[in-house]
Chains A and B, each alone.
Chain A
Amino acid sequence: MQFMLLFSRQGKLRLQKWYIPLSDKEKKKITRELVQTVLARKPKMCSFLEWRDLKIVYKRYASLYFCCAIEDQDNELITLEIIHRYVELLDKYFGSVCELDIIFNFEKAYFILDEFLLGGEVQETSKKNVLKAIEQADLLQESQNEDWGGISSDDIL
């Protein structure tokens, strides 16, 4: 996978993940172009389209579009299920996730994505394992908050 974009029906970008090196300018250009293309498509149309020399796989969940760019030889259907699995992970973590969760807890959305996909490839498909990793991190966060509050410590672990 080359990149993944989450954007709203209004075309607002909510999350972006790039797995290929691009300049900020290029990223913006690609985002603008793709958001336009995808938003213009009608509901019953197929979820795949050719775009430049890539394949775009997208799916809409409520007000959010999840959009992945994959290479020619990559599998479209499994990419569609990557999107679905990511939505399931967010849903499980936030408890029926909505756009606002992703806006205000964007860092969690990124952390979950990093546990699931890394370098553009699936790292861990087990829902349990991904969420376990995130929960452990959350625990670490809480215990640190309890034990040390804002005071810095030289050796935590």
Chain B
Amino acid sequence: GDKALDGYSKKKYVCKLLFIFLLGHDIDFGHMEAVNLLSSNKYTEKQIGYLFISVLVNSNSELIRLINNAIKNDLASRNPTFMGLALHCIANVGSREMAEAFAADIPKILVAGDTMDSVKQSAALCLLRLYRTSPDLVPMGEWTSRVVHLLNDQHLGVVTAATSLITTLAQKNPDEFKTSVSLAVSRLSRIVTSASTDLQDYTYYFVPAPWLSVKLLRLLQCYPPPEEPAVRGRLTECLETILNKAQEPPKSKKVQHSNAKNAVLFEAISLIIHHDSEPNLLVRACNQLGQFLQHRETNLRYLALESMCTLASSEFSHEAVKTHIETVINALKTERDVSVRQRAVDLLYGMCDRSNAQQIVAEMLNYLETADYSIREEIVLKVAILAEKYAVDYTWYVDTILNLIRIAGDYVSEEVWYRVIQIVINRDDVQGYAAKTVFEALQAPACHENLVKVGGYILGEFGNLIAGDPRSSPLIQFNLLHSKFHLCSVPTRALLLSTYIKFVNLFPEIKGTIQDVLRSDSQLKNSDVELQQRAVEYLRLSSIASTDILATVLEEMPPFPERESSILAKLKRKKGPGTLPDLEDTKKEKHVDVNGGTEPVTAVNASNVSTPSPSADLLGLGVAPSQNSAHPPSSGGSLLVDVFSDVVPSVAPLAPSAEENFERHMSGHCPLLECCCASPDLPSTEVVTEEPPAVPVHDADELIDKFICKNNGVLFENQLLQIGLKSEFRQNLGRMYVFYGNKTSTQFLSFAPNVICPDGLQSELNIQAKPVDPVIEGGAQVQQVVNIECVSEFVEAPVLNIQFRYGGALQNISVKLPITLNKFFQPTEMLSQDFFQRWKQLSSPQQEVQNIFKARHPMDPEVTKAKIIGFGVALLEGVDPNPENFVGAGIIHTKTIQVGCLLRLEPNTQAQMYRLTLRTSREVVSQRLCKLLSEQF
């Protein structure tokens, strides 16, 4: 009977429950009592109630409603202590329900003139927490500009809290918070030039406001270097002052003094690296970090190594970083803490270039022998990448990788040995050397299984290149490999069997020996199905096929298509994006990559997606009439099934599948499989990077125009084939379902659709097309999934090229895929006032594009509205004083940037003309969008 409990006992028991919980036991009652305490008028009871809720609440929706009620009352109480408690509670729980209830009120509290400083601080961070959990629920608005001005507040505590909030908001809405840059610079400048006593309690061990300084420097990292010369000059002065102060003799021996001072220094260096525009500062930063490399504080050595790693990626400071190579190598050998050694490895990797690659790779290999198990795999990957990237001489590369396998065979992942084989196959100048080297390495009595795999594969391809030497005659090669056979795992044995059949072709003289081995019981009756099948098939093949056929079937592997090194991809996965200095992009190397381009082209996915279509929702009956299609489905053509229904296959992750591709090439099965599929019409889809084939692209832009304001419809149709589209876009990602309908009663064979990105577009759009079944039955339909990622703004459209055989004749069709920039719009609702404020901000001549054009369709306001909404922007009512005009706003999402966009369309019915005006922060975006939309009316 908790009715008998008075407030004091309730508080006492809730507090005890909390204590029990904090000792590590589960608590599943008492929540209600805690909620009751919230509405108590006694401060201590309320306080304990809030603490319980903050620590223990889970999103039990029933309770949250009650809690929210109590919070609402306290927020409205105008009692700063109660308001503080309520705000702390919101910030601690930060659930979506709370965001829904309070996200709109807190900005008001934050900017109200009469709010106490301490409440302002809590409100700022409370809002920050809500924005992190539910950014969509925190409306930007008039308050944002007032928040920016909190950077000028007299109370440093308020500035500290506000800076955190502004930094987080500015990351997502850079344009909105642009004015914070100059305010932050002047605040920072006042702090760094102040005497250590000026800021009173905000000075920490003789360092003025270190927390605030760090936060301001973080905020500035949301923006490029300030454009205004005065601001820029002032910032450079600040940064110089910080670098100078770091060199001054310490004002205190306490570690807190040095930590606080260096915290600011490291953050300043981060900003210098972020701007990457002041060679002077970059080199100075590098020198100061160099001093830390031998500091007696482990923490500083760690951070110096870490920070230098990012400096190595700047072209201005790369050389300066390289001068520290000996110190870093020494750190690798002498540091006692593995996490510091790890940083040293990272830095060596970062500073590596052609000039020092041999030394660094040798040191890393050296270190690998004694390295901690936890970091071996990563070092192996790094060595493999550096060896490949900076190899001038491929014999060095082959030696290095074989060394890797020798030293750390267990840590050499499949990607690494796949890669060495790829490279050997693609470069004929190294094949003989590789064969000789693996042959020698295999002589060792105990060698790692990975070496057997590499050796087996390479000798199978290029064993003939060393067969002239009597010491490595065919029979010796074969016996050497076969001596390892029984110690190997099943996949390796399978690979060796393929090597043997390749030997039959390379060396007819030992065919008999090999057949004997294949014929033995241990092979033909092997309990493993895969091995048994290979033995049977290979034996049969070797007995019945003529020399010519054998030579064709067992021909040398064709060169591998170039793509991003799978090792690099693996390392990126291991380290997570962003943490790995990307040698390719950032260092701006002048020399050509050794192995041709390494554009991150996502490769083929092996899974087949095809939908045979028994249940037909005929296109013509359902949605088609309203589709306004330029290609009305012919009577026999309503084959497209389900294109416009809402049944969308479950969404698969956009994962690159380089390995699967390797599997296909490399699994022991390859020799046979490859030659079966080696016909030019490979039944898979690749994103081809070469020139588009010389096929006329079907009246390109008209087809695209049709899809600008809608996502579904028929893309193409002729007597044979109908192509339907259904697509969905969210932020910078998109997925397109392409439906291929066979309108004939005959099979399409070798059906191969390719998505081709013209030069330039490859870096702007990532397109991954799933493979489709190479056969489409008469009257049937298959579906292909195309995943799209918009990396940056783009103009061109990718081309869909389709080849297939119909009744013996090769058909070739190319159409542009309607992937246009506006597909990546997210609509933005805003009020008239905000609209015009932003409109004015975007007033420079490059930002605005205007087009006046004649109406091509009847001027119907309802149709126009629908088109503007279909274009992707929010249609804003009541913004334009003239109700005839249309106004819209939206944000283009790309992986790299977001571009806010405002548009205005003014129809003139008398003249049958339109005037369209677009304003965005980027000229090319304004132009592209204007062109796209103008075609619609």
Contacts and interface: CB of A to CB of B under 8 A. Distances in A.
Nearest to B22: A106
Given A21-B94, A141-B43, A75 B263 contact: yes
B256 interface: yes
Contacts of B18: 106-107
Interface in B1-29: 6-8, 15, 18-19, 22, 24, 26
Given A50-B339, A107-B51, A118 B302 contact: no
B214 A21 contact: no
B44 A77 contact: no
B209 A125 contact: yes
A125 B211 contact: yes
A97 interface: no
B83 to A, nearest CB: 12
A49 interface: yes
A45 B7 contact: no
B126 interface: yes
Nearest to B128: A119
Nearest to B41: A156
Given A46-B299, A77-B263, A144-B42, A121 B95 contact: no
Interface in B339-360: 339-340, 342
Interface in A118-136: 118-129, 133, 136
Contacts of A21: 94-95, 133
Interface residues of A, number: 60
B290 interface: no
Given A53-B576, A124-B121, A129 B157 contact: yes
Interface of B: 6-8, 15, 18-19, 22, 24, 26, 40-44, 47-48, 51, 54-55, 58, 79, 81, 84, 87-88, 91-92, 94-95, 118, 121-122, 125-126, 128-129, 132-133, 156-157, 160-161, 164, 200-202, 204, 209-212, 214-215, 218, 221, 256, 259-260, 262-263, 266-267, 270, 298-299, 301-303, 336-337, 339-340, 342, 576, 578-579
Contacts of A129: 118, 157, 201
Contacts of A13: 22, 24
A63 interface: no
Interface of A: 12-16, 19, 21, 23-24, 42, 44-50, 53, 72-73, 75-78, 80-82, 84-85, 106-107, 110-111, 114, 118-129, 133, 136-137, 140-141, 144, 148, 150, 152-157
Contact of A123 (B160, B267, B299): B160
Given A75-B263, A150-B6, A119 B121 contact: no
A26 to B, nearest CB: 12
Given A46-B298, A125-B202, A128-B201, 13 more contacts: A16-B55, A42-B336, A44-B298, A46-B340, A77-B263, A81-B256, A119-B91, A122-B160, A126-B156, A133-B84, A140-B43, A152-B7, A156-B43
A146 to B, nearest CB: 13
B260 A120 contact: no
Say what secondary structure dominates the interface of chain B: helix
Contacts of B210: 78, 81
Contacts of B121: 118, 123-124
A152 B202 CA distance: 41
B160 A114 contact: no
Nearest to B77: A157
B263 A119 contact: no
A100 to B, nearest CB: 13
B157 A119 contact: no
B339 A118 contact: no
Contacts of A53: 576
Say what secondary structure dominates the interface of chain A: mixed
Contact of A137 (B47, B95, B214): B47
8 contacts: A21-B95, A75-B214, A78-B210, A84-B256, A123-B122, A125-B211, A129-B201, A152-B6
A46 B339 contact: yes
Contacts of A107: 15, 18, 47-48, 51
A76 to B, nearest CB: 6
A106 B54 CA distance: 14
Contacts of B221: 73
Contact of A126 (B24, B201, B339): B201
Contact of A80 (B6, B15, B299): B299
A96 to B, nearest CB: 18
A121 B122 CA distance: 10
B207 to A, nearest CB: 9
Nearest to A143: B43
B240 to A, nearest CB: 20
Contacts of A19: 94, 129
Contacts of B122: 118, 123
A110 B160 contact: no
Contacts of B209: 125
Given A45-B337, A150-B8, A122 B51 contact: no
B562 to A, nearest CB: 30
A111 B122 CA distance: 13
A77 B340 CA distance: 15
A81 B157 CA distance: 17
Contact of B51 (A84, A110, A156): A110
A48 B51 contact: no
A156 B339 contact: no
Contacts of B92: 114, 119
A37 to B, nearest CB: 11
A153 B45 CA distance: 13
A44 B43 contact: no
B11 to A, nearest CB: 10
Contacts of B212: 125
Contacts of B262: 77
Contacts of B133: 21
Contact of B211 (A122, A144, A156): A122
B129 A119 contact: yes
Given A45-B298, A124-B157, A126-B202, A118 B126 contact: yes
A124 B429 CA distance: 66
A72 B200 CA distance: 31
A81 B209 CA distance: 12
Given A73-B218, A129-B201, A121 B164 contact: yes
B575 to A, nearest CB: 9
A120 to B, nearest CB: 7
Given A118-B126, A152-B7, A47 B218 contact: no
Contact of B301 (A46, A77, A118): A46
Contacts of A72: 578-579
Contacts of B22: 13-16, 106
A155 B41 contact: yes
A16 B221 CA distance: 31
Contacts of B84: 133
Contacts of A12: 24
Contacts of B79: 157
A120 B121 CA distance: 13
Nearest to B52: A107
A40 B202 CA distance: 36
A30 B918 CA distance: 50
